[in-house]
Amino acid sequence: MTERAAAARQLERVAHSIHRRGLTHGRTGNVAVRVGGQILVTPTGVSLDAVSADALSVIGLAGDHLAGPRPTKEAPLHAAMLRARPGDQAVVHTHSLHSAAVSCLADLDDEEPLPPLTAYYAMRVGRMRALPYVAPGDPAGAATVEEAAHATHALLLRNHGPIVSGRDVDAALDALEEIEHTAQVFLSLRGLPMRPLTPSESAALSAPTPSTPRKAS
Ligand SMILES: [Zn+2]
């Protein structure tokens, strides 16, 4: 199997997994995988459970449509993330319920939209940042993602949802699921005193990098 065919299969598997686990609704959510100098990305208007390895869009790193069906309207965000993070090969974006809810909080802390409540959040996500609200399709969205992604692989788009890159598509999905779980814990604790991990407890856990082996559950 060629590298491109293997990447397409992985993308299809993860897209179906996101849908099966209820991590996004309707025809929202999209996945991208870098292959060489190109990006395979989910097409527009296709529910993630219907994504096929044989019918993916191909775009360039600039976000230009090269082949296959028309890409998701959010493809420029994926391309921006991959331009900023040459060590990462995949991007996952959803409108997951609890993450989307946190993204709508008026008192969101842009520098730390979720506290490190659990060890797995610290290991798989590390530092997340929130980005200002941008209307769908506004080119400013890709520009802000690209700028912020130099510093972190996990971004929370205000009034929208998370976008996360990883060294492969499984690592990106692991991080996205951890964000969604932590968002649910965080919202469950609203109004109660919270005890996040201390800076030294967080520092003792590995933040994700392209070369860090994934921790077993
Ligand atoms: Zn979206």
CA 206–ligand 1 middle distance (angstroms): 28
Give the pLDDT confidence score for residue 126 in this predicted structure: 92
Placement of tokens 């003792």 in the chain = 204
| C-alpha 193 – ligand 1 centre gap (Å) | 32
Does residue 12 form part of some domain? yes
Task: Decide if 211 is inside a domain.
Answer: no
Q: Is the residue at 30 inside a domain?
A: yes
Q: What span, in angstroms and rounded, lies between the C-alpha atoms of 30 and 48?
A: 7
Residue 32 lies in a domain: yes
166 backbone dihedrals φ, ψ, rounded to 5°: -155, 170
Q: Is 68 exposed, middle or buried (0-12, 13-18, 19+ CB in 10 A)?
A: middle
Identify the pLDDT of residue 136. 85
Residue with tokens 């959510």: 29
- Whether 210 is in a domain gets the answer no
Does 24 reside within a domain? Answer: yes
pLDDT (tens digit per residue) in 18-41: 999 999 999 999 999 999 999 999
> CB–CB of 34/97 below 8 Å?
no
Q: What is the CATH number of the domain that holds 124?
A: 3.40.225.10
Number of domains forming the structure of the chain: 1
Domain span at residue 173 reads 3-203
On whether residue 129 sits in a domain, the answer given is: yes
Domain membership of residue 36 (yes or no) is yes
Tokens of 27: 């025809």
Compute the average pLDDT of residues 196-204.
Answer: 91
Q: Give the E-state strand segments of 23-173 in sequence order.
A: 30-35, 38-41, 57-60, 65-67, 90-93, 128-131, 154-157, 161-166
d(CA 98, CA 141): 21
Active-site residues, by number, are 74, 120
User: 131 CA distance to ligand 1 centroid (A)?
Assistant: 13
Give 68 Cα–ligand 1 centroid separation in angstroms: 21
Residues 6+ apart with CB under 8 A from 29: 15, 18, 19, 23, 42, 48, 92, 93, 94, 95
What pLDDT digit, counting tens, does each position of 63-98 carry?
A: 999 999 999 999 999 999 999 999 999 999 999 999
Q: Ligand 1: distance of its center to the CA of 144 in Å? A: 15
